[in-house]
Amino acid sequence: MFPISYKSEEIAGYEVLFFHRLMKNNYASPAEIELEQHSVRKLEDGRVMGLGREWKYYIRTDSGGIIQVGTEDIHTLLKISHVLPSNQNEPSNRQIREGEKFIDDLLREGQRLKDQILNVRKEFENDRDMNIKRFFSDNVYLINYRSAELMLEYAEDNESMVKDEALRYDARDQLTPEQHAHLDRFMAGVGMYFGAAISYFFMALEGFINVLYYAFLKNELRSEYFIEQKLDERLDIITKVLLMPSLCDGFKSKQKARFLKDLTRLKNYRNLSFHSKMSDALKRVGFLESGFLYQCDLKGDLSTSLPSLRFRLERSNVLEFKKTVDSIVKDIIDMMEEDSKSLVEKWILNQIDIPFWKDQHGAVKLGML
């Protein structure tokens, strides 16, 4: 075998499944199929069935040469090679040209039939023939949660550096424009690492609720919720929690969320910190009282001990926010039936990649098939 590297990067840009279908379209079934040994079984009529491991096609060129198109590493890589006689170490110039022409023709045909041969998103969303048995999702809960923990782990050192720069010059002195700009730049960043950690913890909570909806939403509501009405985008986090026991399988009947006050408090704080509303940005008011000028802070009523101004955030504030997120996640899990609770604890709380599968009716299920 002599590998053909011509346009290898362009070929790597396609899914291997794309070339499997393209080759089937042009040359019918593969000339060789290697099966996964653990899956092999013999049918009553003598046929052998099993999951495929690798496939290979052999194409004869005008000069009599042979080009192999096949897979490696459990059909995750496509490899195109010249098949050479035992007495030939490398392809001739003509064979090289034929190999390059074959790849050009293959890519040209692939480009022409690109969306007809493989459109992953479209096929996934319209899987009427039940070809898709399992699939995986990023765990948006765990990814954001661990990002928040890492952000908090490094926050204090970074916040200390930012504060030192924000206090490099005494604002009461006569400062140059450059020195003023330096103070303004770093003062605006004080608290940003603690704020970012809080943001990630809230995104983790939102992700947890969204993953639960994807995993347990009643099958008859799935199309309307995710596609037709796009309720996953339109409903806010409070409404999703209130409707969850009614819209999703796996919840105990007549369960009421006991944590709505805490959830509302977190949501309001997130909105204050990250939605950049002018009503929330107002911070000081000047009052003239009997000839005396008073500067008073204008603080929103958040019903929370978290500071309304980001530069006042401390590690303890982030830990308080995290504790509330953890408590809400626990309370939601406690609302679930035991089987569903076990699935959530196994996959959503602990795995970066969440597996799903479809039953014979097309209903999405959490876990491995």
Where do the domains of the chain lie? 2-118, 150-366
What does the pLDDT look like over 81-115, one tens digit per residue? 999 998 889 999 999 999 999 999 999 998 988 88
What is the layout of strands, in order, in the sheet containing 364-366? 134-138, 353-358, 364-366
| pTM for the full predicted model | 0.75
Residues ≥6 apart with Cβ < 8 Å to 186 = 162, 163, 165, 166, 168
- 5 pLDDT more than 90: yes
- 302 pLDDT more than 70: no
Residue-level pLDDT at 204: 97
pLDDT band at 140 (very low <50, low <70, confident <90, very high): very high
- Token reading at 215: 């995993």
Mean pLDDT score across all residues of the chain: 87
Residue-level pLDDT at 122: 79
The answer to which of 105-109, 191-195, 296-300 has the lowest mean pLDDT is 296-300
DSSP-assigned beta bridge partners for residue 79: 70
Residue-level pLDDT at 78: 94
- 301 pLDDT more than 60: no
- 254 pLDDT more than 90: no
What does the pLDDT look like over 259-278, one tens digit per residue? 888 898 888 888 776 656 66
Highest-pLDDT range among 128-132, 285-289, 306-310: 285-289
pLDDT band at 157 (very low <50, low <70, confident <90, very high): very high
Q: Which amino acid is at 284?
A: R
- 303 pLDDT more than 90: no
CB burial of residue 82 (10 Å; 0-12, 13-18, 19+): buried
Residue-level pLDDT at 37: 86
Residue-level pLDDT at 116: 86
- The dihedrals phi and psi of 349, each to the nearest 5 degrees, come to -80, -15
Which residue would you say has higher pLDDT here, 43 or 316?
A: 316
DSSP states along 19-49: HHHHHHHHH-S-SEEEEPGGG-EE-TTS-EE
What does the pLDDT look like over 29-88, one tens digit per residue? 999 999 988 888 888 788 888 888 999 999 999 999 999 999 999 999 999 999 999 888
Residue-level pLDDT at 238: 92
Highest-pLDDT range among 41-50, 147-156, 352-361: 147-156
Kind plus residue range of the DSSP H or E element containing 172: none
Residue-level pLDDT at 84: 93
What does the pLDDT look like over 198-250, one tens digit per residue? 999 999 999 999 999 999 999 888 888 887 788 888 889 999 999 899 999 99
Residue-level pLDDT at 282: 67
Strands (E), the chain: 2-3, 32-35, 41-42, 48-49, 52-60, 66-72, 77-83, 134-138, 284-289, 292-297, 353-358, 364-366
Residue-level pLDDT at 273: 67
Residue-level pLDDT at 275: 55
151, 357 contact by CB (below 8 A):
no
